[in-house]
């Protein structure tokens, strides 16, 4: 995992003696490169520890051991671990480049998954919906859609616990018995569920179909 350092002046040194207990996920409601430069602008008075872009790049703006300014306003919180003090002191903030209503790109999802994996391990953060939360859980009034309904909570928690796959790590193939013989298909854990992918030509021809590959349109046609 490649993390690029992009220092922001918007932070408080140290964590007032608090331990990191949770990750707060956000969306920026802005796009690169403006959203990164804004979080590095003193006028913003806002930051996060990390920013994960649509391209799957990870920037670190504030050191983990310092307090980033990402979830300091508490309004109608719905978070049992809120202790009455500023949540910035005991959380890690991760911003995701996305406009309201957008979902993460696949590259962005994979990058944030790796980042979450590293952080939960480093700080012994339990993998559940009280320790990995959205900004809306801390400020339900001004941030009801941060990170919004399309944020992949279930996929993230499933992938972090590894419960989604019995077949990890790496690619595992299983035999697929066809009328014409046996082929191997890889099992991939795409959306938290294991799915077997089959070589399309072998399968279709074994079932009596003709397969055509069009180099120009890069399309497979099965008749
Ligand atoms: Zn936020």
In this predicted structure, what is the pLDDT of residue 197? 82
37-94: per-residue pLDDT in tens? 999 999 999 999 999 999 999 999 999 999 999 999 999 999 999 999 999 999 999 9
| Token pair recorded at residue 55 | 């391209």
- Fold of the domain spanning 3-161: Lysozyme-like (3.40.80)
What's the CA-to-centroid distance between 71 and ligand 1, angstroms?
Answer: 6
What's the CA-to-centroid distance between 191 and ligand 1, angstroms?
Answer: 25
In this predicted structure, what is the pLDDT of residue 164? 61
What's the CA-to-centroid distance between 153 and ligand 1, angstroms?
Answer: 16
In this predicted structure, what is the pLDDT of residue 182? 87
- Domain borders along the chain are 3-161, 172-222
What's the CA-to-centroid distance between 181 and ligand 1, angstroms?
Answer: 54
What's the CA-to-centroid distance between 77 and ligand 1, angstroms?
Answer: 13
What's the CA-to-centroid distance between 134 and ligand 1, angstroms?
Answer: 8
In this predicted structure, what is the pLDDT of residue 69? 98
In this predicted structure, what is the pLDDT of residue 192? 57
For the entire predicted model, the pTM comes to: 0.76
In this predicted structure, what is the pLDDT of residue 152? 95
What's the CA-to-centroid distance between 115 and ligand 1, angstroms?
Answer: 17
On whether the CB atoms of residues 136 and 149 are closer than 8 A, the answer is: no
Range 212-218 average pLDDT: 89
What's the CA-to-centroid distance between 51 and ligand 1, angstroms?
Answer: 11
| Residues surrounding ion ligand 1 at CB below 5 Å | 26, 135, 146
What's the CA-to-centroid distance between 193 and ligand 1, angstroms?
Answer: 29
- C-alpha–C-alpha distance, residues 88 and 72, integer Å: 6
- C-alpha–C-alpha distance, residues 114 and 99, integer Å: 22
Confidence of residue 161 (pLDDT cuts 50, 70, 90): confident
Confidence of residue 153 (pLDDT cuts 50, 70, 90): very high
On whether the CB atoms of residues 7 and 41 are closer than 8 A, the answer is: no
What's the CA-to-centroid distance between 144 and ligand 1, angstroms?
Answer: 9
What's the CA-to-centroid distance between 67 and ligand 1, angstroms?
Answer: 15
What's the CA-to-centroid distance between 222 and ligand 1, angstroms?
Answer: 47
In this predicted structure, what is the pLDDT of residue 72? 94
| Token pair recorded at residue 109 | 């999802």
- C-alpha–C-alpha distance, residues 180 and 28, integer Å: 53
């Amino acid at each position: 995992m490649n993390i690029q350092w992009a220092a922001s002046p918007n932070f408080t040194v140290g964590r007032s003696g608090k331990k990191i207990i949770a990750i707060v996920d956000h969306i920026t409601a802005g796009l690169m490169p403006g959203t990164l430069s804004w979080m590095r602008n003193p006028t913003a008075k806002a930051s996060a520890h990390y920013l994960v872009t649509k391209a799957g790049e990870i920037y670190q703006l504030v050191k983990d051991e310092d307090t980033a300014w990402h979830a300091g306003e508490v309004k109608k919180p719905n978070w049992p671990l809120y202790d009455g003090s500023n949540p910035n002191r005991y959380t890690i903030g991760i911003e995701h480049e996305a406009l309201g209503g957008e979902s993460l790109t696949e590259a962005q999802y994979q990058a944030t998954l790796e980042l979450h994996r590293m952080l939960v391990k480093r700080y012994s953060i339990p993998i559940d919906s009280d320790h990995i939360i959205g900004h809306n859980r801390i400020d339900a009034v001004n941030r009801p859609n941060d990170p919004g309904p399309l944020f992949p909570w279930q996929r993230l928690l499933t992938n972090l616990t590894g419960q989604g796959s019995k077949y990890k790590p790496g690619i595992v193939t299983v035999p697929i018995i066809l009328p014409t013989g046996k082929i191997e298909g890889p099992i991939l854990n795409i959306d938290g569920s294991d799915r077997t992918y089959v070589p399309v030509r072998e399968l279709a021809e074994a079932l009596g179909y003709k397969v055509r590959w069009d180099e120009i349109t890069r399309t497979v046609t099965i008749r």
